Structure 1
Amino acid sequence: MSPEAASLTMQAAASKQPADPTISPPNLSNSGKVEDAGIRDELAAAVDPPNYEHEIGQRLHCEWRQNETRECEVVERRALANGAHEYYVHYANFNRRLDEWVSADRLSEMQPQAPMVRRGASAEKRRKLDPVLDPAFGERPPPTAEVEEVAGELDAVTRREHEAATRVKNINKVVLGKWEIETWYYSPFPPEYLNCDTLYFCEFDMHFVRSHAALQRYMKRSDAVHPPGNEIYRNGSISVFEVDGNRSLTYCQNLCLLAKLFLDHKNLYYDVEPFLFYVLTECDEHGCHPVAFFSKEKVSVMDYNLACILTLPPYQRRGYGRFLIALSYELSRLEGKAGTPERPLSDMGLVGYRSYWAQVLLRILQTHRGAISIEQLSQLSAIRIDDVMSTLQALHLIKYWKGQHMLCISPKVLRDYVYFEQGPSCSEASFDPSRLQWTPYHDRPPLERCLS
């Protein structure tokens, strides 16, 4: 074994890790003792309510970027100390991540629209056939190379309840290492942090504070330079750490709270003990800086190999999402199982997984000689049979004939795959199974499983 491979067995010693900040779910927090300027403002407003120009639920036009205007809906409103009013708006046909507080001077009443001109029959037919032309479908989402949110998509009723409860972002920015990142969604931080414009995180142990000065004081006391847990993968400057949700409870809870700021429908915040977290980092002389992570259950009856995945915004479109998906399937292979992500998948999650499944299956078909069955494809790829079937059907490589499914390989699809494989890629961002040193959870010593 090479010195580099041997070094992967190291553990983050508990004595070297600083004590994590102890947080509790919001309903357990002693919020009655927290003095909050926002609460005082609400009490003052109850005595002398402000005279708002616009109502909650009202549809308006809002000044957008580059002197454009967009239709929006007022979600919430507030009065500032200087007497001015601000409105929290959601832009029509846009993702909730773009919701924001705007000043009253950016809003204007919507003008009556001109009567609709009757389209010809061909135009009406084309409109019905193309969902992109129908406002009910919203705007087509932009293509992306990253899987931002995979599992945890909610059903329609739960989704509406979730959006009503989390409609207003409570944290506007986070500082993580060298990055200041604008947040996208609400996250259930403890009450004493809910009206904090910016939160400051220690990127190595996920301790968070309210000010830059407090973070500097904390960093002087901390000697952490990487996530807690075991380093299971290293390739150049890329390392992956496995963090046990039970052993590093607060780290994983804080990581989930951070992730919720960028995932709309994530619902795992505090119940992290049954999960393992795989944190992908970029390493330099200052330490191992987190860029992405995914979580998976220690024991999954349904053979799920991924529960939640996030690439932090500054690191998206670099191939890290695909890296983590490949890692999750390699873990399934070592467990002797065919894995799959938790269901249901989000729309973007399905797109990302379909791309990965197609790449893996076409690589096998490109190199395999002789007949091959769906079951063999599943065994070779560690992809569950129903995912293999749906991917091959989407590629038009499978037909139903005489009561059974038959593979019909298209030379054009294989040629396109070869061309795609020859494209530019980042070697370090491509997952290399030979660099992984990992033991399946069920094969670990009983004492280790008991402690976790």
Structure 2
Amino acid sequence: MGSMEASTAPENGSSAAGGGAGGTACNGAGAASNGGGMERRLRSSAASASWAAHLPLEVGTRVMCRWRDQKLHPVKVIERRKGSACSSPADYEYYVHYTEFNRRLDEWVKLEQLDLDTVETVVDEKVEDKATSLKMTRHQKRKIDETHVEQGHEELDAASLREHEEFTKVKNIAKIELGRYEIDTWYFSPFPPEYNDCPKLFFCEFCLNFMKRKEQLQRHMKKCDLKHPQVDGKKNKVYGQNLCYLAKLFLDHKTLYYDVDLFLFYVLCECDDRGCHMVGYFSKEKHSEESYNLACILTLPPYQRKGYGKFLIAFSYELSKKEGKVGTPERPLSDLGLLSYRGYWTRVLLEILKKHKGNISIKELSDMTAIKADDILSTLQSLDLIQYRKGQHVICADPKVLDRHLKAAGRGGLDVDVSKLIWTPYKEQG
């Protein structure tokens, strides 16, 4: 599987292996232990039987669920549906949210994956999972590709956020096939109604048209002669809209832009004799009054942790340099989005400070890097490299401190070979 989800296995889940006695009873103590285990199993069966009378479980129920790591984790029932052969309440399937983790891991499960002994009898809908859904161990944060940048929901008021979460609470597409990968999706995407609840969509990786059946894709591939991506949302509207549908499966944004005319799409590909295979992209507005040089960025799950996302961030700044402007990503950024950009800004700025002799101002750093002055100031302040003296900010850069921060920032990913960048800013085209 190409999905990143396989690499985000929880570390702190309780084991599904229960408390029954192990080994052969060789003495009285062992026999007592074995009897205790049998008693517990009888109590468990009785508890499960009592809960069978309350099936199907109500939306909002909290219970322990066996995940793909074969461990039990706390979940909340978000939705329920009748199974394909629903002859009894036990045949229902449940869409659950793992309250320890991001909702990208939400999924449909069968009753046998749920531990009915742990069902909470009081369902409290007012208890929010937001805090727990964002909890991650340090190991899991490393595992999640830090170039997977999402906007946060800070711009939404409480009512709009509830409406967004209600509308997008259940993934409508479980899997997609794109090129040689089958990928588990992460979030809801507003495909046309006829595609809702389709177990898997098949995408042409070149034109991004999508179909319900493999046979349709095979017929399409015999006729599709496009082997490279299109980039202008106005000239290639269908491609731009399909790219947004695809991206929304992996980005938890509030907004999906149907008016793609206003955007340019920069699609990164791996190329071979069959054509150019999309690995990720970023979009930017053709005209931005706020100096945004990037609206949305995504590296597809099968290609993450290869440095492609960091490359796209660096590439967006190289375009800003070509335009003779400073740039900044569209706000608001999620926590992971800020982490990605803060890493890029740190590496670029500290490399310059290491090599530079003498004084240098934030304005000069901005001119050299195309990074907005506010982003430079906030980055250096977060590293305690800024002091305020005599009414102005002064950069204090001890070489050992710079080395320590550079090491913490990690590697920068793939280099952008500017000598091969042939590009004309949009305002100068036509």
For the superposition of Structure 1 and Structure 2, which TM-score range results when normalised by the shorter chain? Answer: 0.7 to 0.9
Question: Among residues 163, 166, 169, which one is paired with 2:165 in the alignment?
Answer: 163
For normalisation by structure 2, the TM-score amounts to 0.79
Query: Equivalent residue of 1:244, what SS?
Result: coil
Question: Among residues 110, 121, 128, which one is paired with 1:103 in the alignment?
Answer: 110
Q: CA deviation at 1:135?
A: 5.8
Residue 70 of structure 1 pairs with residue 58 of structure 2: no
The 3 A distance-change label for structure 1 pair 248 and 152 is farther
One-letter amino acid of the structure 2 residue matched with residue 443 of structure 1: E
Q: Structure 2 matches for 1:29-48, cutoff 5 A?
A: none
Question: Among residues 132, 135, 138, which one is paired with 1:138 in the alignment?
Answer: 135
Q: CA deviation at 1:386?
A: 0.5
Contact 1:152 1:308 in 2 (8 A): no
- 2:59 maps to which residue? 56
Following the alignment from structure 2 to structure 1, what is the Cα–Cα distance between the partners of residues 63 and 329? 40
Question: Among residues 81, 84, 89, which one is paired with 1:81 in the alignment?
Answer: 84
Query: Equivalent residue of 1:371, what SS?
Result: coil
Contact 1:260 1:266 in 2 (8 A): no
Question: Among residues 318, 334, 358, which one is paired with 2:346 in the alignment?
Answer: 358
Contact 2:75 2:98 in 1 (8 A): yes
The 3 A distance-change label for structure 1 pair 287 and 185 is same
Residue 436 of structure 1 pairs with residue 421 of structure 2: yes
Residue 224 of structure 1 pairs with residue 219 of structure 2: no
Deviations 1:10-39 (A, max 9, x none): xxxxxxxxxxxxxxxxxxxxxxxxxxxxxx
- 1:150 maps to which residue? 150
Following the alignment from structure 2 to structure 1, what is the Cα–Cα distance between the partners of residues 422 and 295? 22
- 2:217 maps to which residue? 215
Q: CA deviation at 1:136?
A: 9.2
Following the alignment from structure 2 to structure 1, what is the Cα–Cα distance between the partners of residues 400 and 71? 44
Contact 2:173 2:200 in 1 (8 A): yes
Following the alignment from structure 2 to structure 1, what is the Cα–Cα distance between the partners of residues 369 and 340? 16
More relative contact order, 1 or 2 (CA 8 Å, 6+ apart):
1
- 1:274 maps to which residue? 262
- 2:97 maps to which residue? 90
Residue 331 of structure 1 pairs with residue 319 of structure 2: yes
Q: CA deviation at 1:148?
A: 1.2
Contact 2:61 2:119 in 1 (8 A): no
How many matched pairs?
359
One-letter amino acid of the structure 1 residue matched with residue 110 of structure 2: S
- 1:183 maps to which residue? 185
- 2:287 maps to which residue? 299
Q: CA deviation at 1:145?
A: 4.2
Query: Equivalent residue of 2:141, what SS?
Result: coil
One-letter amino acid of the structure 1 residue matched with residue 71 of structure 2: E
The RMSD of aligned alpha carbons is 2.3
- 1:287 maps to which residue? 275
Query: Equivalent residue of 1:293, what SS?
Result: strand
- 1:19 maps to which residue? none
Greater shift in the superposed pair: 149-158 or 193-202 = 149-158
Query: Equivalent residue of 2:260, what SS?
Result: coil
Q: CA deviation at 1:424?
A: 7.6
- 1:16 maps to which residue? none
Contact 1:295 1:308 in 2 (8 A): yes
In structure 1, runs of 5+ residues without a counterpart are: 1-50, 114-133, 229-242, 446-452
Q: CA deviation at 1:395?
A: 1.3
Q: CA deviation at 1:371?
A: 1.3
The 3 A distance-change label for structure 1 pair 110 and 353 is farther
The 3 A distance-change label for structure 1 pair 164 and 293 is same
Following the alignment from structure 1 to structure 2, what is the Cα–Cα distance between the partners of residues 322 and 246? 27
Question: Among residues 371, 375, 378, which one is paired with 1:387 in the alignment?
Answer: 375
Following the alignment from structure 1 to structure 2, what is the Cα–Cα distance between the partners of residues 320 and 404? 38
In structure 2, runs of 5+ residues without a counterpart are: 1-53, 121-130
Deviations 1:146-167 (A, max 9, x none): 3212336443523332111100
Following the alignment from structure 2 to structure 1, what is the Cα–Cα distance between the partners of residues 220 and 372? 46
Q: CA deviation at 1:76?
A: 0.5
Contact 1:146 1:320 in 2 (8 A): no
Query: Equivalent residue of 1:324, what SS?
Result: helix
For normalisation by structure 1, the TM-score amounts to 0.75
Residue 340 of structure 1 pairs with residue 328 of structure 2: yes
Query: Equivalent residue of 1:379, what SS?
Result: helix
Question: Among residues 184, 194, 197, which one is paired with 2:196 in the alignment?
Answer: 194
Contact 1:77 1:88 in 2 (8 A): yes
Contact 1:73 1:90 in 2 (8 A): yes
- 2:12 maps to which residue? none
Following the alignment from structure 1 to structure 2, what is the Cα–Cα distance between the partners of residues 88 and 67? 18
Contact 2:350 2:406 in 1 (8 A): no
Following the alignment from structure 2 to structure 1, what is the Cα–Cα distance between the partners of residues 82 and 209? 32
Following the alignment from structure 1 to structure 2, what is the Cα–Cα distance between the partners of residues 55 and 80? 15
Contact 2:269 2:278 in 1 (8 A): yes
- 1:237 maps to which residue? none
Percent identity of paired positions between Structure 1 and Structure 2? 54
Following the alignment from structure 2 to structure 1, what is the Cα–Cα distance between the partners of residues 321 and 298? 22
Following the alignment from structure 2 to structure 1, what is the Cα–Cα distance between the partners of residues 364 and 202? 49
Q: CA deviation at 1:402?
A: 2.1
Following the alignment from structure 1 to structure 2, what is the Cα–Cα distance between the partners of residues 63 and 418? 41
Q: CA deviation at 1:104?
A: 1.0
The 3 A distance-change label for structure 1 pair 184 and 373 is same
One-letter amino acid of the structure 2 residue matched with residue 195 of structure 1: D
